[in-house]
Chains A and B, each alone.
Chain A
Amino acid sequence: AQRVTQPEKLLSVFKGAPVELKCNYSYSGSPELFWYVQYSRQRLQLLLRHISRESIKGFTADLNKGETSFHLKKPFAQEEDSAMYYCALTNSGGYQKVTFGTGTKLQVIP
């Protein structure tokens, strides 16, 4: 069974400080991993995916298969980064079932 764990419900950081939102997964095959973000009063939207190896809004995430982790990082937090972040996993073939973690609320303190 596929599983996503986000150990922190709430993460508070000061503006300008580095951010790391933790995500660990369990999956027997080759997973596709994503981070979704939900800003206040907005719908959930894709932030980034590991296959693209992209940086979106200054955020990056590296898939570490040895540690089965996909932590989201940003070197300098901004107030507008305050939001709910969900790590998600799906299988790489066939049915597009996505398993979401429980989410981490990021609070950036001015």
Chain B
Amino acid sequence: DAGITQSPRYKITETGRQVTLMCHQTWSHSYMFWYRQDLGHGLRLIYYSAAADITDKGEVPDGYVVSRSKTENFPLTLESATRSQTSVYFCASSSPGTSIYEQYFGPGTRLTVT
């Protein structure tokens, strides 16, 4: 689905560097989410946003920052990357007005921190 995209798809960075992962959706969904996917942990919620300028912490928010100045964009920033943040990151969106609570996922960003 071209409705939700993530960039970059792959990223290698060094410990201590700041990295921003982008997420863009074209459906005007009010809710957006960031997850990380790790073996043995499944998908864990990092941050979510109920609307523009409204964000809140999920299960594992430490070391991450988000913003949502526009409905369609939800960037995730790693302020000072650590090796433990090596993971696959998924962005998702959903809308209470459509399929009840179904989340639509982006293709993922594979981040490696060296």
Partner of A86, one of B40, B43, B48, B106: B43
Which stretch, A14-22, A44-52, A59-67, A73-81, touches the partner chain B?
A: A44-52
Q: Give the total of B residues in contact with A, Cβ under 8 Å.
A: 26
- Note all chain A residues with C-beta closer than 8 A to B42: 6, 86, 100-103
Given A44-B90, A96-B31, A96-B96, A32:B40 Cβ within 8 A: no
Of the candidates A49, A96, A101, which one forms a contact with B94 in the assembled complex, judged by CB atoms under 8 Å apart? A96
Number of A residues near B (Cβ < 8 Å) is 21
**Given B41, B101, B107, which contacts A98 in the complex, CB threshold below 8 Å?**
B101
Q: Does B89 contact A (CB under 8 A)?
A: no
Bits for B77-114, please: 1 = Cβ < 8 Å to A, else 0.
00000000000001010101001111101111000000
B65 at the interface (CB under 8 A from A): no
A32–B100 touching, CB < 8 Å:
yes
Residues on the B chain within 8 Å of A101, using CB:
42
Tell whether B50 is near chain A: CB-to-CB under 8 Å.
Answer: yes
Given A96-B96, A102-B40, A102-B42, answer yes or no on A46-B48 (Cβ-Cβ < 8 Å).
Answer: no
A-B contacts, 29 listed (Cβ < 8 Å): A9-B40, A32-B100, A34-B102, A43-B1, A43-B105, A43-B106, A43-B107, A44-B90, A44-B92, A46-B103, A49-B101, A86-B42, A86-B43, A96-B94, A96-B96, A96-B101, A96-B103, A97-B45, A97-B48, A98-B33, A98-B45, A98-B103, A99-B45, A100-B35, A100-B42, A100-B44, A101-B42, A102-B40, A103-B43
Residues of chain B touching chain A, judged by Cβ–Cβ distance below 8 Å, are 1, 31, 33, 35, 40-45, 48, 50, 58, 90, 92, 94, 96, 99-103, 105-108
